[in-house]
């Protein structure tokens, strides 16, 4: 019975899921938060229980050791030899990787080379990879890249209209993100459509980070995030698309540093920046319901930006067979889905089944029979994709 661990390392966190691959069951999952602090938080779920404790976790090496010790102490595994593979999520794979790969020194070198394109993420991924290799040298390790799915985009959709040498010499181009989620949801959508020879699908991954993807015949054709996850639609605290001259204006007139501007655009903008209330859509909705005009405006902009991208991708694809919603907002906020679909419904011939949208659970069709475009809610499962890829690559 092959077990595979899926690991997602952030700069101060380590998320994990352990899969029993015979039935693709999650045996245990959890997270180590606040790595590097005396009051780090370790949470583990297993056998229907959830345990949390606070302790000192100086580095990712200790986080991995903590995780493995708990797997043994709680008899989730009797021996670490049961874990045959470890699949790592890696945010930025650049143009090097169009699929998941087994990790070797060359792969690690390329992940390191790409740190400037994702400084927080790729650095943390490398630390996590090395920590896991040190703790479990006999387990095969694989990397699944958020950017890989988008490597099928045509050049006209990823080259920026700036001097071409910035692309050739410095790798500045659109890479996109959420690729593993867009892949999973688009493939599930195509299954619901009956595996037609040709298909056009738009996936709306709407969470704290949000992106859309136009999927043509099962391959990414265009996506809303860019060189980094800052581009595209409005998000929880990220601005999405804006005039690049805003940066120069803030520098010249408000004497803000590029670092401060970038921090503001990433962490103080979006729903939080416009509403002044929160980056959490639930809080913004509550404030709007109480009459907060800025909260209402934040929601209006969010809906408008997503609807605009759906319209853009409809034109680029020529026709759309299905639109699928996923991630925190996409899966759990029927009122957001309704507003977005109403914004594009007349133009695209979409008719919503209000009962299915409001009251259903899990994967489901939420468009009415007469709708010209099918609309689905499909909870994403990036970890399962990573585990499946690891199993395939490692021949488990």
**Catalytically active residues, by annotation:** 146
Binding site for Mg(2+): which residues?
8, 382
Cα–Cα distance between 27 and 21 in angstroms, integer? 10
Binding site for substrate: which residues?
89
Distances (CA, A) of 197 to 68, 152, 204, 396: 45, 18, 22, 31
* Burial grade of 18 (CB within 10 A; 0-12, 13-18, 19 or more): buried
* Burial grade of 108 (CB within 10 A; 0-12, 13-18, 19 or more): middle
Binding site: which residues?
8, 15, 89, 205-209, 280-282, 328-332, 382
CB-facing half-sphere around the CA of 139: CA atoms within 13 A: 28
CB-facing half-sphere around the CA of 320: CA atoms within 13 A: 31
Binding site for ATP: which residues?
15, 205-209, 280-282, 328-332
Question: From the CA atom positions of the chain, what is the Rg in Å?
Answer: 21
What is residue 352's DSSP assignment? B
E strand spans, the chain? 3-9, 13-20, 25-33, 40-46, 49-55, 83-90, 101-102, 140-145, 200-206, 210-216, 219-223, 322-326, 364-365, 374-377
Contact assessment for residue 19 and residue 26, using Cβ atoms and an 8 Å cutoff: yes
């Amino acid at each position: 019975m092959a077990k595979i661990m899926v690991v997602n390392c952030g700069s101060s966190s380590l998320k994990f899921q352990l899969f029993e691959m015979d039935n693709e069951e999650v045996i245990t999952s959890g997270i180590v938060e606040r790595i590097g602090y005396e009051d780090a938080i370790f949470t583990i779920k297993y056998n229907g229980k959830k345990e949390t404790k606070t302790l000192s976790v100086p580095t990712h090496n200790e986080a991995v050791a903590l995780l493995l010790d708990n797997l043994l102490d709680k008899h989730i595994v009797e021996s670490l030899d049961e874990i045959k593979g470890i699949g790592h999520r890696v945010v930025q794979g650049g143009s090097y990787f169009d699929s998941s790969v087994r990790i070797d020194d060359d792969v690690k070198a390329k992940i390191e080379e790409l740190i400037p394109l994702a400084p927080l993420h790729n650095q943390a991924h490398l630390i996590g990879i090395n920590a896991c290799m040190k703790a479990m040298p006999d387990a095969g390790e694989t990397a699944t890249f958020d950017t890989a799915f988008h490597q099928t985009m045509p050049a006209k959709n990823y080259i920026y209209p700036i001097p071409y040498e910035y692309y050739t010499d410095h790798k500045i181009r659109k890479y996109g993100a959420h690729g593993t989620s867009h892949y999973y949801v688009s493939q599930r959508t195509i299954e619901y459509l009956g595996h037609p020879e040709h298909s056009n699908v738009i996936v709306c991954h709407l969470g704290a980070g949000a992106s859309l993807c136009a999927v043509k015949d099962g391959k990414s054709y265009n996506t809303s995030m860019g060189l980094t996850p800052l581009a595209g639609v409005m998000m929880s605290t990220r601005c999405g698309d804006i005039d690049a001259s805003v940066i120069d204006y803030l520098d010249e007139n408000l004497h803000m540093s590029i670092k401060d501007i970038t921090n503001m655009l990433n962490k103080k903008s979006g729903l939080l920046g416009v509403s002044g209330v929160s980056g959490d859509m639930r809080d913004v909705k509550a404030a709007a319901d109480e009459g907060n005009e800025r909260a209402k405006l934040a929601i209006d902009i969010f809906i408008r930006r997503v609807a605009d991208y759906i319209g853009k991708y409809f034109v680029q694809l020529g026709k759309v067979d299905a639109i699928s919603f996923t991630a925190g907002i996409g899966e759990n906020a029927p009122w957001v889905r309704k507003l977005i679909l109403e914004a594009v419904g007349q133009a695209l011939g979409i008719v919503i089944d209000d009962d299915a949208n409001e009251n259903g659970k899990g994967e489901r069709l939420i468009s009415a029979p007469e709708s010209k475009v099918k609309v689905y809610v499909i909870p994403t499962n990036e970890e399962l994709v990573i585990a499946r890829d690891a199993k395939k690559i490692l021949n488990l």
